[in-house]
Chain A
Amino acid sequence: MNRRTVLAAAIVSAATALSGQAFAAEPVKVGAIECLTGLNAKYGTMIKPGFDLALDEINAKGGVLKGRPIELIYEDSASQKEQAINAAKKLIGRDHVVAILGPTLSSEMFAAGPVANERGIPIIGTSNTAKGITDIGEFVFRTSLPESDVLPVTLKKAQAKFGIKKVALLYSNDDSFTKSGFDVFKETLDKLGIEIATIETFSTKDTDFSAQLTKIKSLNVDALVVSALAEAGGGLVLQARQLGIPKTVPIIGGNGFNSPKIAEIAGDAAEGVISGSPWFIAKEGAQNQNFVDSFRKKYNMDPDQFAAQAYDTMYILAAAFDRAGEADSKKLRDALIKTENNGLLGPFKFGADRSPATAEGVVVTTIKGGKFTLLQ
């Protein structure tokens, strides 16, 4: 035997050994499509560690389906719809995944969801909050609470606490996310019998809100209700206080306010800002404490709600695999519907529309000393 034959023989035997080992506990393949780069990378890069942390815990305890580890294959959507579609096609066609997690943005789900749905692959959004996500088809799920569940809880709690009777409603009118938040706010305010003294708009890119706020100040309202992304929201809060709208008039925000950016941009002016969230870092309970500790230890940063939602979703998926009994997409879908979980976001199960069945887990928070705390 010359050297080359020996080498070839070695490679063949090594390859056989490897494949034999892999066969013993063949991983269950799952895909994940997230914004890891691009404008919305801040969301995807929090979701990924959430998945990874849960995945490590699950696989360390023996995986799913009696000892098979879950293998998670990431694809970057780069915050683009087209890329999300390509990622879904690749994961299904080439990697033969059983299920897909993500995509990050609602707009990406509207693009990639139909691809997975047509091929009968369950696709589970962990961060999509827009209306109509699960109407795409019966293989489309989401574990994130839609705004229409979160915002009413926020308003009710604020009304009870501050006795709010008359508000000014503000929103940025050039963004579908903030517009849909505005619609929910308006509907809820009408339902609660709260008078809307004025409705003011601004653009997502606006930095100057002084004209609108000066007008609102003269109307003597009990609260400001704002549907804006964190960037514009932070500036708005700051200017409201500078223009002399007193701190006794609380500012209530939508999902966009649910971000540390608000306190970062507005500084002291952000004190007392109210928003609702499916999760927040100081939530009580050992399970949450463990999650926050492990997350900090592993990634050297604080988790946010997107990480928490991703973490819970991975556990829901693992439980559904065990319930399905085999790595089959159709059986997994049927199992997901029946799966219940008691995770970081509270008790969870899917409703008939494959969205979360209850808003029980929603917490209403207020900023104190620059940090989110529970509104008592």
Chain B
Amino acid sequence: MLAQQLFNALVLGSVYALFALGFTLTFGVLRVINLLYGFYVAAGAFAALVAVQSLGLGLWAAGAFGVVTAGLVAVVCDFLVLTPLRRAKAPELSSLIVTLGGVLLMNSLMQIAFGAEVRRFPARLLSQDAIAIGPLLVAPIQLVIIATVFVLVAALFWFMERTRLGTAIRAVAERPDTAALMGVNVGLVVSGVSFLSAALSAAAGILIGLDFNAVHPYMGEPMMLRGFAIIVIGGLGDIRGALVAGLALGFLEVMTAGYLSSNLKEAVAFTALILGLWLRPNGLFGRASGKRA
């Protein structure tokens, strides 16, 4: 039973981590608490669903389609909603309120377009029969999730550390004005980060939709609650912190439900949040504020 629970925790934690990575990236670079982020979970999942049902694409193509679509939607949304605020150098609270309005609007539009009912990806995409690996029972989608998450995370680290655009992103995160003076196209970097983070959110949405057979307009909401806890515990803007905190939260939730009481599962994220703020207010890896992303 322990082995199976640890595996359950790994799957859940991977999805949390993937979701939180984009969230923390947005904050680290754009200095914005972007509540629209939760919407991209559903946007990506629905785009992939449409790609499967109407365009007849396969699993990977539909996934890529969903990720790219959500990324492009995010670029447009951020341009319309956040760029004017950035130009006016509005305080952080303004962007919080504006994106709150934005997410309510977008969720309602999704509901009008697709209805509130829960949908699922067709069963033909991926077998749902579990495979026995030693003492474990593993669904194929769970292997896909773990593999996808680790490939994406590795790609993200490589991109941030080794590419020109990644360096530019880190420069903008450090000080946008100075970066601009050094010749970095800040507008392009901002759009790039919007795209990248929404793409990660959408990837999480598609994987959740596939794993639990539940795609609906509000699927981002429960993720946002966890996402907040993870990025605060991991340190706002800290990619490594989000990865570790996401995996840890998945582990704690599963162990709590499995060995203590499932009644307490919902409380785990918030207990961890309070403890995190109390013990490590600068995040798990405790770097001073200002040196993020």
Asked if residues B214 and A235 are in contact (CB atoms below 8 Å), the reply is yes
Contact with B along A229-258 (1 / 0, CB 8 A): 011001100110011100000000000000
Asked if residues A214 and B8 are in contact (CB atoms below 8 Å), the reply is yes
Given known pairs A208-B212, A231-B118, the reply for A243 and B262 (CB within 8 Å) is no
CB distance from B83 to the nearest CB of A (A): 32
Asked if residues A234 and B213 are in contact (CB atoms below 8 Å), the reply is yes
CB distance from B229 to the nearest CB of A (A): 15
Decide yes or no whether A217 CB sits under 8 A from chain B.
yes
Decide yes or no whether B265 CB sits under 8 A from chain A.
yes
- Closest chain B residue to A243 by CB distance? B137
Chain A residues 35-75 with CB under 8 Å of chain B are 39, 41-42
Seen from chain A, the residues whose Cβ lies within 8 Å of a Cβ on chain B are 39, 41-42, 173, 200-203, 205-208, 210-212, 214-215, 217-218, 230-231, 234-235, 238-239, 242-244, 261, 264-269
A-B contact count (CB 8 A): 96
- Please name all residues of chain A whose beta carbon is closer than 8 Å to the beta carbon of B280 when the two chains form the complex: none
Asked if residues A211 and B254 are in contact (CB atoms below 8 Å), the reply is yes
- Please name all residues of chain B whose beta carbon is closer than 8 Å to the beta carbon of A244 when the two chains form the complex: 130, 137
CB distance from B50 to the nearest CB of A (A): 18
CB distance from B17 to the nearest CB of A (A): 14
CB distance from A46 to the nearest CB of B (A): 13
Decide yes or no whether B120 CB sits under 8 A from chain A.
yes
- Please name all residues of chain A whose beta carbon is closer than 8 Å to the beta carbon of B139 when the two chains form the complex: 242
Given known pairs A214-B1, A215-B1, the reply for A207 and B128 (CB within 8 Å) is no
- Closest chain A residue to B130 by CB distance? A242
- Closest chain A residue to B116 by CB distance? A39
The 7 closest A-B pairs by CB, nearest first: A207-B212, A211-B257, A210-B8, A211-B254, A231-B118, A211-B258, A200-B262
Listed A/B pairs (15) with beta-carbon separation below 8 Å: A173-B263, A200-B262, A205-B218, A207-B208, A208-B12, A211-B255, A212-B262, A214-B258, A231-B216, A234-B118, A235-B212, A242-B128, A264-B120, A265-B118, A267-B128
Name, among A41, A203, A214, A261, the residue most crowded by chain B CB atoms within 10 Å (CB to CB): A214
Decide yes or no whether B94 CB sits under 8 A from chain A.
no
CB distance from A77 to the nearest CB of B (A): 16
- Closest chain B residue to A198 by CB distance? B262
CB distance from A69 to the nearest CB of B (A): 34
Expressed in whole angstroms, the Cα–Cα distance for A138 and B129 within the complex equals: 54
Expressed in whole angstroms, the Cα–Cα distance for A235 and B208 within the complex equals: 11
Decide yes or no whether B167 CB sits under 8 A from chain A.
no
Expressed in whole angstroms, the Cα–Cα distance for A230 and B12 within the complex equals: 22
Q: Which of A201, A206, A242 has a CB less than 8 Å from the CB of B137?
A: A242
- Closest chain A residue to B209 by CB distance? A207
- Closest chain A residue to B3 by CB distance? A214
Expressed in whole angstroms, the Cα–Cα distance for A266 and B211 within the complex equals: 11
- Please name all residues of chain A whose beta carbon is closer than 8 Å to the beta carbon of B208 when the two chains form the complex: 207
Asked if residues B12 and A212 are in contact (CB atoms below 8 Å), the reply is no
Seen from chain B, the residues whose Cβ lies within 8 Å of a Cβ on chain A are 1, 4-5, 8-9, 11-12, 116-118, 120, 123, 128-130, 137, 139, 208, 211-214, 216, 218-219, 221-222, 253-259, 262-263, 265-266
Q: A42-B117, A215-B258, A242-B137 are in contact. List 15 more A-B contacts (CB 8 A).
A: A39-B116, A201-B262, A202-B265, A207-B219, A208-B12, A208-B212, A211-B5, A211-B253, A214-B1, A214-B258, A243-B4, A261-B118, A267-B123, A267-B128, A268-B128
Given known pairs A238-B128, A244-B130, the reply for A207 and B258 (CB within 8 Å) is no
Expressed in whole angstroms, the Cα–Cα distance for A173 and B262 within the complex equals: 10
CB distance from B267 to the nearest CB of A (A): 11
Asked if residues A203 and B8 are in contact (CB atoms below 8 Å), the reply is no
Expressed in whole angstroms, the Cα–Cα distance for A264 and B118 within the complex equals: 10
- Closest chain B residue to A40 by CB distance? B116
- Please name all residues of chain B whose beta carbon is closer than 8 Å to the beta carbon of A269 when the two chains form the complex: 128
CB distance from A13 to the nearest CB of B (A): 47
Expressed in whole angstroms, the Cα–Cα distance for A369 and B221 within the complex equals: 34
Expressed in whole angstroms, the Cα–Cα distance for A239 and B255 within the complex equals: 17
CB distance from B261 to the nearest CB of A (A): 8
- Please name all residues of chain A whose beta carbon is closer than 8 Å to the beta carbon of B222 when the two chains form the complex: 203, 205-207
Asked if residues A210 and B262 are in contact (CB atoms below 8 Å), the reply is no
- Closest chain B residue to A174 by CB distance? B266
Asked if residues A205 and B213 are in contact (CB atoms below 8 Å), the reply is no
CB distance from B122 to the nearest CB of A (A): 10
Asked if residues A265 and B120 are in contact (CB atoms below 8 Å), the reply is yes
Expressed in whole angstroms, the Cα–Cα distance for A95 and B109 within the complex equals: 34
Asked if residues A217 and B128 are in contact (CB atoms below 8 Å), the reply is no
- Please name all residues of chain B whose beta carbon is closer than 8 Å to the beta carbon of A243 when the two chains form the complex: 4, 130, 137
Expressed in whole angstroms, the Cα–Cα distance for A268 and B253 within the complex equals: 28
- Please name all residues of chain A whose beta carbon is closer than 8 Å to the beta carbon of B8 when the two chains form the complex: 208, 210-211, 214
- Please name all residues of chain B whose beta carbon is closer than 8 Å to the beta carbon of A215 when the two chains form the complex: 1, 5, 257-259
- Closest chain B residue to A265 by CB distance? B213
- Please name all residues of chain B whose beta carbon is closer than 8 Å to the beta carbon of A217 when the two chains form the complex: 1, 4
Asked if residues B128 and A212 are in contact (CB atoms below 8 Å), the reply is no
- Closest chain A residue to B221 by CB distance? A205
Asked if residues A212 and B257 are in contact (CB atoms below 8 Å), the reply is yes
- Please name all residues of chain A whose beta carbon is closer than 8 Å to the beta carbon of B263 when the two chains form the complex: 173, 201
- Closest chain A residue to B8 by CB distance? A210
Asked if residues A211 and B265 are in contact (CB atoms below 8 Å), the reply is yes
Asked if residues B12 and A238 are in contact (CB atoms below 8 Å), the reply is no
- Please name all residues of chain B whose beta carbon is closer than 8 Å to the beta carbon of A208 when the two chains form the complex: 8, 12, 211-212
Expressed in whole angstroms, the Cα–Cα distance for A200 and B260 within the complex equals: 11
